[in-house]
Amino acid sequence: MKTLLISLKIFLTFTVLTGIIYPLFITGIAQVLFPEKANGSLLVRNSQVVGSKLIGQQFDSVIYFTSRPSVILYNPLPSGGSNYGLTNIKLKEIVAARRHTFCSFNQLDSLTAIPSEMLFASASGLDPHISPQAALLQVDRIANARNFNDLCKLKLINCIKNLTEGSQFLCLGEKRVNVLLLNLETDKIQ
């Protein structure tokens, strides 16, 4: 009986330490040092949350830049990819369909080189970025849909250049553009 009481005391002590005190301590540190990231990097426009800089969203309208494909439809709860291997027939069919959709949606020639992130879903299914090349391939469609003149189209191209992020720590990843930020800036062009 004495061993059982000692075991229960240890269990309760560690439950309080690791289940309550430690999470609150780490949350407090995050709120002090990184408040924006600790709260989800939410973007607010006109007193309304429009999304997060960290989670991709689906944009189907011709007036917006489209995001990278997502197997989970950008739902953060079941985050993950399809796990199809490169030799899988189903993956080849999906990539061919995405290629056709991207080319037809953006009125591109079928011989146009399409950046891989527009053909393959990310491992998490939540990637909010595309390459500057993928964004530039969509400029003509957006400019036509919004009836932009040449000056507005140039502003749109400059938005892509201004919002292009470099590699993390100068060596991790490639240049990329956050699609949500780009679409919000596109709405400001007159």
Judged against a pLDDT cut of 90, whether residue 131 lies above it is answered with yes
Judged against a pLDDT cut of 90, whether residue 182 lies above it is answered with yes
pLDDT recorded at residue 97? 95
Rounded to an integer, the average pLDDT of 60-77 is 90
Q: What is the pLDDT of residues 14-59, one digit of tens each?
A: 999 999 999 999 999 999 999 988 888 888 888 898 888 888 899 9
pTM of the model: 0.81
Q: What is the pLDDT of residues 136-151, one digit of tens each?
A: 999 999 999 999 999 9
pLDDT recorded at residue 80? 79
| Distance, CA of 90 to CA of 93 (rounded, Å) | 5
Judged against a pLDDT cut of 90, whether residue 96 lies above it is answered with yes
Residue by residue, what is the 3-state secondary structure of 140-175? HHHHHHCCCCHHHHHHHHHHHHHHEECCECCCECCC
Select the more confidently predicted residue: 6 or 169: 6
Select the more confidently predicted residue: 153 or 123: 153
Exposure pattern of 74-90 as b/e (b: 16+ CB <10 Å)?
Answer: beeeebeebebeeeeee
The rounded percent of the chain whose pLDDT value lies above 90 is: 66
Residue with tokens 């993390």: 168
